[in-house]
Amino acid sequence: MNKLASQDYIVFLVYFIVVASYGYWVYNRKKKAETSASHDYFLAEGSLTWWAIGASLIASNISAEQFIGMSGNGFKMGLAISTYEWMAAATLMIVAIFFIPVYLKNKIYTMPQFLNTRYNSTVAMIMAVFWLLLYVIVNLTSILYLGALAISSISGVNLYVCMYALAIFAIVITLGGMKVIGFTDVIQVFFLILGGLVTTYLALDLVAQQYGSTGVVSGFKLMMEHSSDHFHMIFKKDNSNFPSLPGLTVLIGGMWIVNLNYWGCNQYITQRALGADLKTARGGILFAAFLKLLMPVIVVLPGIAAYVLNQKGYFTNHELMDASGEIVGDKAYPTLLNLLPVGFKGLSVAALTAAIVASLAGKANSIATIFTLDIYQKKIKPAATEGELVITGKLTVLIAMIIGCVISPLLGIDKKGGFEFIQEYTGFVSPGIFAMFILGFFWKKATSNAALFATIGGFLLSVLFKFLPHFVGLGFLEPLGFATLNNGVYEIPFLDRMGFVFVICMVVMYLISSFDNRNGVTPHALEVDTKMFKTTNGFAVGALIIVGVLAALYSFFW
């Protein structure tokens, strides 16, 4: 039944009132403290606690693409898609130990500011404009449209009403600044995890009932028994899903580039930690890493449960099919939510809404930060007052959200697939950006000319490797595991493609920088002291626990 009962609306209303009231309370406290500086608005400088930073990182990261897209991948390929979440937990440790100290030591507040400090204003401006376009045209629109589509399919409310309501809710939170976003994200994560766990519990119990049993433990065991092919983390070459997750590449190849670029070189994410001191920032990131270990339980297991139920014949055919009659994995999560009892369905919709709104608010704040601090203040009005910067940021939020609402229905987002599509096409730019950042951090001789190559050349190389197989036979790469046959054409799996582009960018950056150095070019190296990479004992213990859990998970589900 694709509609909400009155009890569901009451549960959802409670969620809305709690988040809105808490956000209003935080905003009023901030006003009374007279902290209206731009850094407070964009970064909540010095006011976010470790638990607020960790919760905000997860709330901003988890959205419709995970609940709908990753759950759909769980339906299609199983637990292996969890590698994006579990490898992120390991990545966060690296970011906390090596990346965040560099940002904080050099007083870096935005990613374009880092590029301007380390390379030059040309590289910074190119990337600032690029990130704005990416965040508005790709990320903001995808979150808005996919989120509205999911909620509409569950509640029966008109798609556009859902989209505008999500946008307005996100604007209200975003206009309060990063402090309001950070602390309301704690509430958002509570609903996200609680509602997600309830959905998983009921889905697994439903699987157990179909086989004459009860309970989530029994349901999980039955899922492993009746869909054993869905419980492998590393695919072999003969697996039809190998092109998406090509074997050991998820452990030693392109998956690291995906995660390190996303978690360490992304304004949208790192902004949460840049306003804190090092100990607090690391504590928040460690908390986020622990939450990451939990995410597959919430977003992947329901997809596998839907697969088992579908194999059992539980769903009528049209529930998981598109207009052409093909089964669509992205329909798995909304279909499950429509099976939930009254009240629980409202809680799960609240969880989905929390994920979407938190991501929208975080993305909008990052858009405002980059435009205001890296374009408006530097190129349009250098003499702008603190108050003018904050007003500009708020106007940017409004304009970005309006643009997102207007253009998102025109992009055919729902026709292009979910989580996997987003990962692949983000990968067109990730290798070059990451190469530029990693050498900028840890190699003092990297020059701005080399960075320009990584910015533009990395993208062009990604496009080349994507379409090259259509013109040149790459069968010789197949025995090495770097090419798979698809419709008669040998294609390079996109994670491997990212690895190739990253290595080429690193090599060419080294060559260009060496040439520049010999011709008297002196790069603007950052201040880096190896002592700042030292961690507290508490952080070290937490990191070791995470590594141990990951080793156990990959060993058990190999």
Query: What is the distance between the alpha carbons of residues 482 and 474, in angstroms, rounded to a whole number?
Result: 9
Query: What digits encode the pLDDT tens for the residues 211-233?
Result: 888 888 999 999 999 999 899 99
As for how many domains the chain has, the answer is 1
- Residue 95's pLDDT band (cuts 50, 70, 90): very high
CA-based nearest residue to 69, from 323, 421, 318: 421
Q: Which domain holds residue 128?
A: 41-227+262-421
CATH code for position 46: 1.20.1730.10
The pLDDT value given to residue 351 = 79
Q: What does the angle CA 367 – CA 89 – CA 45 come to, to the nearest 5 degrees? A: 40
Query: What is the distance between the alpha carbons of residues 45 and 373, in angstroms, rounded to a whole number?
Result: 15
Q: Is 105 part of any domain?
A: yes
The pLDDT value given to residue 323 = 58
Q: First and final CA of the chain: distance in angstroms?
A: 38
Residues 6+ apart with CB under 8 A from 136: 367, 400, 403, 404
Q: Is the pLDDT of residue 43 over 70?
A: no
- Residue 36's pLDDT band (cuts 50, 70, 90): very low
Q: Is 409 part of any domain?
A: yes
Residue 486: beta bridge partners? 489
Q: Is the pLDDT of residue 38 over 80?
A: no
Let me know: does 502 contact 494? Beta carbons within 8 Å: no
Q: How many residues does the chain have?
A: 558
**Least-confidence region, from 178-187, 287-296, 371-380, 450-459:** 178-187
Residues 6+ apart with CB under 8 A from 28: none
The pLDDT value given to residue 447 = 93
Q: Is 557 part of any domain?
A: no
Put simply, whether the predicted model's pTM sits higher than 0.85 gets the answer no
Query: What is the distance between the alpha carbons of residues 470 and 486, in angstroms, rounded to a whole number?
Result: 11
Let me know: does 359 contact 18? Beta carbons within 8 Å: no
Q: Is 252 part of any domain?
A: no
Let me know: does 219 contact 391? Beta carbons within 8 Å: no
Q: Is 520 part of any domain?
A: no
Let me know: does 432 contact 102? Beta carbons within 8 Å: no
Span 469-488, average pLDDT: 58
Residues 6+ apart with CB under 8 A from 110: 267, 271, 369, 370, 373, 374
Residue that is written with structure tokens 């938190």 in the block = 358
Q: Is 333 part of any domain?
A: yes
Q: Is 371 part of any domain?
A: yes
- Say if strands 484-486 and 489-491 run parallel, antiparallel, or are unpaired: antiparallel
Q: Is 513 part of any domain?
A: no
Query: What digits encode the pLDDT tens for the residues 415-473?
Result: 555 566 667 777 788 899 999 999 998 899 999 999 999 988 988 998 888 877 666 66
Q: Is the pLDDT of residue 37 over 70?
A: no
Residue that is written with structure tokens 């509609």 in the block = 3
Percent of the chain, pLDDT > 90? Answer: 23
Span 71-75, average pLDDT: 86
Q: Is the pLDDT of residue 34 over 50?
A: no
